[in-house]
Amino acid sequence: MTVEMAVPPFDHLVSRFLADLLSLLPDDGARLGLAVSGGPDSMAMLHLAAAACPGRVEAATVDHGLRAEAAAEAALVARACAALGVPHMTLRVTVEPTASIQAAARRARYAALAAWAAGQGLPAIATAHHADDQAETLLMRLARGAGLSGLAGIRARRDIGGVLLVRPLLGWRRAELAAIVAAVETVDDPSNADPRHDRTHARALLAGAGDRLDPLRLAASAAHLAEADAALDWLVEEAIRSRVDRFDDGRIAADIEGLPREVRRRILARLVGEADSAVDGPALETAMARLDAGQVASLGALKLSPGRRISIEKAPPRR
């Protein structure tokens, strides 16, 4: 027996998309950049956005130069955009060959998309991450023992280099999006089935759990955790305003004794990031353990000294 999925009329889907999108944008009339890979998810987003915000969307496809088919895939997106009257650009990037090529490709992709949006005067960019992506991300991060920030998953909105990145489809299922583009030519991403990727295992786990693990519920959990994470960050900002002194010579003193460990960790991460830019989680943990034991700690180019007020300053140059 085949079960036909009832697809709501397209105009209902468009209204729902518009409501989801507007809940994330600061300004109802804002123009929007769409990150469209050519896969079914982002092609569905392209069709929804073109109908929801006519004349206000532009699209870009990143060609990472890693697969021979990438140019043809970008051309497919360009044709779909032309048919919908959406301006399109292909962004070619060079990905440094590192151990984690996926992570390097992601970094290059977001940097290129942010630069494109800034160049086109687009205040926001949308990607097509959906509830199934979010549920998979949560399972992958649980499996790695992630904390609050990691389990908050894919953020619905965040800043990337001065451009707002939004994910209006986090409340949508992959199958809903696939149904929207069932009659449209889309790209098949071979990495989706690659057994070397944690995501492939998380996807199989969810599929095997059937109704007992509902991706929409997992996505709802991630949204709750993202709210808690943002609330903690807000409190940390408040604490920094009242408890931190910055001196002319660059030294920073933070009166954080007695605060909960997680709050101290976030304050130190912020201050170290401010003074030195690179914050490495495990190194910060080691530094905190030393400070708790009354010892001086070094972190990157910084020296952290214990006391009622923790002092952060540039470490003297090594001889």
- Asked if 186 interacts with ligand ATP (CB under 6 A), we say no
Each residue 86-105 as x (binds ligand ATP by CB under 6 A) or -, in order, gives: ----------------x---
Pairing outcome for strands 157-160 and 163-166: antiparallel
Distance CA 74, CA 307 (A): 57
40 marked as binding residue = yes
State the angle between helix axes of 40-52 and 70-84 in degrees (0 to 180), rounded to the nearest 10.
20
165 vs 284 by CB, closer to ligand ATP: 165
Distance CA 197, CA 199 (A): 5
Residues 6+ apart with CB under 8 A from 32: 21, 25, 49, 53, 56, 57, 58, 122, 124, 125, 126
134 vs 244 by CB, closer to ligand ATP: 134
59 vs 287 by CB, closer to ligand ATP: 59
Choosing from 32, 33, 50, 61, the residue that interacts with ligand ATP (CB under 6 A) is: 61
Contact 168/130 with Cβ under 8 angstroms? no
Name the residue among 186, 191, 183, 189 with its Cα closest to residue 40. Answer: 186
Each residue 188-227 as x (binds ligand ATP by CB under 6 A) or -, in order, gives: -----------x----------------------------
38 marked as binding residue = yes
59 vs 244 by CB, closer to ligand ATP: 59
- Asked if 149 interacts with ligand ATP (CB under 6 A), we say no
State the angle between helix axes of 131-143 and 215-243 in degrees (0 to 180), rounded to the nearest 10.
70
List the beta strands (DSSP E) in the chain. 32-35, 57-63, 88-92, 124-126, 157-160, 163-166, 244-246, 252-254, 297-299, 302-305, 310-314
- Asked if 244 interacts with ligand ATP (CB under 6 A), we say no
Size of interface with ligand ATP, in residues (CB under 6 A): 15
106 vs 157 by CB, closer to ligand ATP: 106
- Asked if 35 interacts with ligand ATP (CB under 6 A), we say yes
- Asked if 42 interacts with ligand ATP (CB under 6 A), we say yes
Minimum distance between the CB of residue 73 and ligand ATP, rounded to whole angstroms? 8
38 vs 264 by CB, closer to ligand ATP: 38
N-terminal to C-terminal alpha carbon distance within the chain: 76
Residues that bind ligand ATP (CB under 6 A): 35-37, 41-42, 61-62, 102, 106, 109, 127-129, 133, 199
Annotated binding site for ATP: 37-42
